[in-house]
Amino acid sequence: MNSHHDYRDSRGLLYCAAILILGTLSISSAWAQQRIVTDPPLLDVKKGTAPRTTLMALPLGAPRMASEKQLDLNIEFTDSKIYNPASGHYDSVRLRSYTGASVDPKAPHVAPTIEVYPGDTVRVSLHNKLPPDPSCTTHKPEASDDDVIDAVNTPHCFNGTNLHAHGLWVSPSGNSDNVLLSINPGVSFQYEYNIPPDHPAGTFWYHTHRHGSTALQVASGMVGALVVRGDRLPTTDGHGDIDTLLKNADGSAFTERLLVLQQIQYACRDKGVLKSRKVDGKIVEWICDPNDVGGVDSYVDAANNSLFGSSSWGQSGRYTSINGQVLPTFIAKAGDVERWRVIHAGVHDTIALQFRKLKAGAPSVDRLTVEQTASYIDKNCTGEPLPFHLIASDGLTMANAQRTTLATLQPGYRNDALLVFPEQGAYCVINNSISAEASVTQASVSRRLMGLVGVQGGTPVSGNVDEFLRTQLIAAAKRTMPAPMQDKIVTDLSNGLKLSSFTPHPDIEEDELKAPGQVLTFFIDTNYVDPTTGKKKTKFEVSGTPYDPQRYDPKRIDRKLMLGTAEEWTLTSRLAGHPFHIHVNPFQVVKILDPNGKDVSAPGAIDDASGTIDPEYAGLKGVWKDTLWVKSLISPPKIVYPNGIYTVVIRTRYERYIGDFVLHCHILDHEDQGMMQNVSVMLNDGTGNLSQGHH
């Protein structure tokens, strides 16, 4: 049995041990005992389905055996409580969520983890048990095209749903990863994901994706981790899974943690209007009184206050949660190499992850508002930033482990990192300060606390932590890697922690590209005047070539692409930054040019075009991803186009799968309001043109 299973199945023992450990650390036991964080539980497989049979002991050349898994998820309103550090109490909430036997009752607003292997067939049955919602089925056939587009891109159908397997390389059609359908209240539907045998092992996730209500449901907690595990060793003619390297001396996997980061954006209301605290006329905190029940019920309140605007998360005073817990505590051992799978499953926060040692005797964080956390960190999280190494981005193993002391995660991102806590004590898990241009909030954000790590026992690391990790990985390679590959992998690890034997995709070279490529621009039109009402209306749009930004039209195919080809894409934004996400096929970062033409994606590159150093892009050159921040300095009236434009260049292959799917901004309320396009991958008709089907 894998060690991560042992860890999750022994929660009771872990909890008891944690209480003893925390008593010796500078963590308030009354605080920490309530919120010890564990991985989300695994989603139960329905009885009668075949268990997976491992292949590693089979004779060479034996066919790969796979399993079929059937899983069930209900969608219902769930009554629960979420800790509010500002008050020191738990707020009552009623939120849309996935329910079922596997859901942790103490953290119901994060879904169970789906765990699969390459070659598996996974069937997920969704049962929508939410109340009827007339806006899901309202049609206006007599309306003009503009009216239809307005209706489509106005948030609606809050009780309709569907499912997206974010990052999975599977078919987008039929009952596979199809988000172009609506599972309305009272309807059940079974998704079937046929995961190919050559699918990369890695960290992915799943979430609702019904256009018009995606942000509202994700901000309610309708998300879960999806982990593809791998046991393929590297060979002389094929790459292996990084999982096979990350082993202890006894053969068990490195300690593994799965973190689902969320912004549960619940609000309490009085006669339909947001209850809030104001300072100098500005909202600084959303208020829930003891008898209130918070919810995520709409995109604006009765007074037309935005509940999903760029500033809403900062105004709310809420904390980013980890696995459904606010300000939780992790329990760790000194000197253990840990693998952290971190998933940004939220909507309106940019996470700049950092770890610092907490000084002894630091006070509790109870009754600590988000506004006060920066001061708390300054006074108490005083250790030097802890170095760690990124080994995968968006579930895809990188060509070499990248050392850092800060990792930026935009909505939709995943990072796999190797950490070593070198000594006993407590460590702060920090969301570091970030500039306005680097944040989805479009405002500079001060440091915030997300949790603590209590470190006790183990073997402290007295020397250089980086050298210690390198030594541990080399020793693991000598134990685990097959003889034909062992020397190469040991040499790679010795020279810059190269992981080239574990990367899933070959580089896309210039001679593979099909001209002329794709051009995409995000735009927010803040000056549009509705000709019917005469009032200003914000439009969220995407443009291709020529420049002609438009809102999403479900009947329009914006991009037609040919199966079996590769193309270069050029991405820009003409107002604010946006995370670009495309379904099905991942892409490789070629270069990212700042407004002065400097490539800021190379290792060690400095992105300071805004006057503030932004570390997010450094080291992304050559990295494979499925979600990528398209930065812009344009935020009128400060900077006006064409100044302030970053140019993001990526390459992608259209392999294996045909069908219709979407690309969009992963600030999900932007997507709900029109910042999305339809994409179709089509066959070659035999003459070099796209096949349009037959009649």
The pair of three-digit structure tokens given for residue 298, joined into one six-digit string: 């709409």
Q: Render pLDDT for 306-324 as a digit per residue (tens, 0 to 9).
A: 899 888 998 898 999 999 9
- Count of the separate structural domains present in the chain: 2
pLDDT at 536: 87
pLDDT at 61: 46
Domain of residue 49: give its range.
Answer: 26-136+143-232
- Beta-carbon count within 10 A of 133 CB: 18
pLDDT at 350 exceeding the cut of 90: yes
Across the range 504-532, mean pLDDT stands at 93
Q: Which residues of 427-442 are buried (b: 16+ CB within 10 A; e: fewer)?
A: bbbbbbbbebbbbbbb
pLDDT-based confidence at residue 23 (cuts at 50, 70, 90): low
pLDDT at 251: 93
Of 178, 201, 232, which marks where a domain is finished? 232
What whole-number distance in Å separates Cα of residue 497 and Cα of residue 507?
Answer: 19
Of 232, 266, 283, which marks where a domain is finished? 232
Task: Please report which helix (H) or strand (E) contains residue 468, including its range.
Answer: helix 465-480
pLDDT at 370: 82
Picking from 271-285, 343-357, 444-458, which range would have the lowest pLDDT averaged per residue? Answer: 271-285
Q: Render pLDDT for 132-180 as a digit per residue (tens, 0 to 9).
A: 999 898 756 555 688 889 999 999 999 999 999 999 999 999 999 999 9
pLDDT-based confidence at residue 302 (cuts at 50, 70, 90): very high
User: What is the 3-state secondary structure of 154-186?
Assistant: CCCCCCCECCEEECCCCCCCCCCCCCCCCECCC
Phi and psi (nearest 5°) for 192? -130, 115
Q: Render pLDDT for 673-682 as a digit per residue (tens, 0 to 9).
A: 999 999 999 9
Q: Is residue 495 part of a domain?
A: no
Q: How far is CA 532 from the centre of its chain?
A: 39
pLDDT at 77 exceeding the cut of 50: yes
Q: Is residue 357 part of a domain?
A: no
Q: Which residues of 556-570 are buried (b: 16+ CB within 10 A; e: fewer)?
A: eebbebbbeebbbbb
- For residue 575, the domain's CATH number is 2.60.40.420
Across the range 187-212, mean pLDDT stands at 97
What whole-number distance in Å separates Cα of residue 569 and Cα of residue 24?
Answer: 54
What whole-number distance in Å separates Cα of residue 534 and Cα of residue 526?
Answer: 14
Q: Which of 427, 319, 450, 424 is nearest to 381 (CA)?
A: 427
Across the range 56-74, mean pLDDT stands at 64
pLDDT at 13 exceeding the cut of 90: no
pLDDT at 369: 83
pLDDT at 357 exceeding the cut of 60: yes
Q: Is residue 625 part of a domain?
A: yes
pLDDT at 421 exceeding the cut of 80: yes
DSSP annotation of 607 reads B
Instruction: Yes or no: say if 370 and 86 are a contact pair by the CB < 8 Å rule.
Output: yes
pLDDT at 4 exceeding the cut of 70: no
Q: Is residue 371 part of a domain?
A: no
Of 213, 232, 251, which marks where a domain is finished? 232
pLDDT-based confidence at residue 282 (cuts at 50, 70, 90): confident
> Would you list the DSSP string of 214-277?
HHHHHTTT-EEEEEE---PPPBTTB---GGGT-B-TTSPBPEEEEEEEE----B-EETTEE-EE
Across the range 628-641, mean pLDDT stands at 89
Q: What is this structure's pTM? A: 0.93
Q: Is residue 494 part of a domain?
A: no
Q: Is residue 84 part of a domain?
A: yes
> Would you list the DSSP string of 113-152?
BEEE-TT-EEEEEEEE-SPP-GGGT---TTS-HHHHHHHH
Q: Of 550 and 530, which is predicted with more confidence? A: 550
Q: What percent of the chain has pLDDT over 70?
A: 91
pLDDT at 693: 65
The pair of three-digit structure tokens given for residue 657, joined into one six-digit string: 């799968």
Instruction: Yes or no: say if 480 and 473 are a contact pair by the CB < 8 Å rule.
Output: no
pLDDT at 100: 85
Q: Of 640 and 222, which is predicted with more confidence? A: 222
Q: Is residue 244 part of a domain?
A: no
Cα maximum dimension of the chain = 76
Picking from 1-5, 191-195, 270-274, 631-635, which range would have the lowest pLDDT averaged per residue? Answer: 1-5
pLDDT at 10: 42
Q: Is residue 678 part of a domain?
A: yes
The pair of three-digit structure tokens given for residue 127, joined into one six-digit string: 């049962």
Q: Which of 270, 273, 312 is nearest to 292 (CA)?
A: 270
pLDDT at 63: 45
